[in-house]
Amino acid sequence: MNARMENNKKRSLILAGGGIKVAFQAGVMQVWLDEAGLEFDHVDAASGGVFNLAMMCNGNSGHEIANNWRNLNPREGISFNLSELVKLFYAESMFTLDNYRKNVFTAWKYDWEKIRSSDLNGTFNVFNFSKKQIEVIEPGDMTEDLLAACVSLPMWFPPVRINEETYIDAVFMTDANIEEAIRRGADEIWVIWTVSDRDEWNDGFLANYFQIIETSAVGHYRLILKRIRENNRLIESGENGEFGRHIEVKELKSDVGLHYLINFSQDRLTEAVNQGVKKARDWCTANGIEFEPIDGNFPTEVHEAHTILSFTEEMKGFMTLGETDYQKGYARGREEKNGVMFHLSMNINGVNRFVTRPGHDTDDIEGYVEAAAFGGKCAVKKGWFNLIVDQENITEKTMLYRLFFYDQKNGRELTLTGFKVIKDDPGFDLWEDTTTLYTQILAGHISADEEEALRADPAKLSERLVAAGIIHIYMLDFMKQLTT
Crossing angle (nearest 10°) for helices 62-70 and 266-286: 150
Residue 114: predicted pLDDT: 97
Helix (H, G, I), strand (E, B) or coil at 40: coil
Q: Which residues contact 4 (CB under 8 A, 6 or more apart)?
A: 39
Could you give the CA distance from residue 147 to residue 145 in angstroms, rounded to a whole number? 5
Determine the Cα–Cα distance for residues 332 and 374; give it in Å rounded to an integer. Answer: 17
Task: Name the pTM for this structure.
Answer: 0.79
**Where does residue 127 rank: exposed (0-12), middle (13-18), buried (19+ CB within 10 A)?**
buried
Helices (H), 22-81: 22-29, 49-57, 62-70
**Sign of the C-alpha dihedral computed for residues 144, 150, 154 and 160 taken in this order:** positive
Query: If DSSP codes are grouped into helix, strand and coil, which group holds residue 221?
Result: helix
Q: What is the pLDDT of residue 204?
A: 92
One digit per residue, the tens of pLDDT, for the chain of length 484 reads 345 554 689 999 999 999 999 999 999 999 999 999 999 999 999 999 999 999 999 999 999 999 999 999 999 999 999 999 999 889 999 999 999 999 999 999 999 999 999 999 999 999 999 999 999 999 999 999 999 999 999 999 999 999 999 999 999 999 999 999 999 999 999 999 999 998 889 899 999 999 999 999 999 999 999 999 999 999 999 999 999 999 999 999 998 988 999 888 888 899 899 999 999 999 999 999 999 998 654 544 555 556 777 888 899 999 999 999 999 999 999 999 999 999 999 887 766 666 666 666 777 899 999 999 999 999 999 999 887 667 666 667 888 999 999 999 989 999 999 998 887 666 566 778 888 999 999 999 999 999 999 999 989 999 999 999 999 988 777 677 667 6
Count other Cβ atoms within 10 Å, centred on residue 400: 19
pLDDT value at residue 233: 97
CA distance linking residue 192 with residue 62, whole number of Å: 14
C-alpha closest to that of 48 among 231, 272, 351, 204? 272
Long-range contacts of 231-236 (CB under 8 A, 24+ apart): none
Task: Check if the beta carbon of residue 113 is closer than 8 Å to that of residue 42.
Answer: no
Task: Identify the burial level of 435 via C-beta atoms within 10 angstroms of its C-beta, where 0-12 means exposed, 13-18 middle and 19 or more buried.
Answer: middle
Give per-residue burial for 43-74: e unless 16+ CB within 10 Å, then b. Answer: bbbbbbbbbbbbbbbbebebbbbbbbbbbbeb
In whole angstroms, what is the distance from residue 122 CA to residue 140 CA? Answer: 9
CA 92 to chain centre: 33
- For residues 438 and 421, give the distance between their C-alpha atoms in angstroms, rounded to a whole number: 9
Q: What is the predicted pLDDT for the residue at 250?
A: 98
Q: What is the pLDDT of residue 434?
A: 83
- How far apart, in whole angstroms, are the C-alpha atoms of residue 175 and residue 215? 11
d(CA 320, CA 466): 9
DSSP alpha helix (H) spans, 248-374: 266-286, 326-336, 351-356
* Per-residue pLDDT at 1: 39
Q: Rounded to 10 degrees, what is the CA torsion of 81, 84, 85, 91?
A: -110
Using CA atoms, how far apart are residues 465 and 457, in angstroms rounded to an integer? 12
From the list 164, 55, 175, 81, the residue with the least C-alpha distance to 127 is: 175
- Write down the pLDDT at residue 349: 75
pLDDT at 466: 94
Residue 399: what pLDDT? 87
Burial zone of 170 (CB within 10 Å; 0-12 exposed, 13-18 middle, 19+ buried): buried
End-to-end CA distance of the chain: 51
Residues counted in the chain: 484
CA dist list (Å): 244 to 18, 178, 218, 239, 240: 30, 15, 25, 9, 6
